Amino acid sequence: MSDFSNFLSPGRKGHLVGIGGVSMSSLAEVLFGMGIGVTGSDTNESFNVSQLRAKGISVSIGHRAENIPAEVDFLVRTAAVHDDNPEIAWAREHDIPVFERTEAWGAISRDYRNALCISGTHGKTTTTSMCTHILMAADRDPTVMIGGTLPLLNAGHRVGHGNTIVMEACEYYNSFLSFHPTVAVILNIEADHLDFFKDLEDVERSFRAFAERVPQDGFVVANYDDENTMQTLEGLDRKRITFGLSAAADVHARNIRFLGANSQFDIIYRGRKFTDVTLHVPGMHNVKNALAATAAAICLGIRPTAVKYGLAGFNGAGRRFEFKGKFNGADVYDDYAHHPGELKVLLDTVETLNYKRTVLVFQPHTYSRTAALFDDFVTQLRRPDVLLLAEIFAAREKNTIGISSASLAQQVPNSVFFPSFSELEGALRALARPGDIILTVGAGDVYKIGEHLVAEE
Burial class (CB in 10 A: 0-12, 13-18, 19+), 56: exposed
The three-state secondary structure class of 212 is helix
b/e burial code for range 405-436 (CB count within 10 A of at least 16 → b) = bebbbeebeebebbeebeebbeebeebbeeeb
CB 146, CB 156: distance < 8 Å: yes
Active site residue 125: yes
d(CA 75, CA 96): 7
Alpha-carbon dihedral of residues 354, 374, 176, 298, nearest 10 degrees? Answer: 30
d(CA 188, CA 227): 9
b/e burial code for range 113-138 (CB count within 10 A of at least 16 → b) = ebbbbbbbbbbbbbbbbbbbbbbbbb
The three-state secondary structure class of 252 is strand
d(CA 287, CA 252): 9
Bridge partners (DSSP) of residue 222 are: 186, 242
Percent helix, strand and coil across the chain, each rounded to 5? 35, 25, 40
d(CA 22, CA 51): 12
* Active-site annotation holder among 29, 39, 121, 124: 124
CB 141, CB 308: distance < 8 Å: no
* Active-site annotation holder among 39, 78, 121, 125: 125
* Active-site annotation holder among 29, 87, 103, 168: 168
Positions annotated as catalytic residues are: 124-125, 168
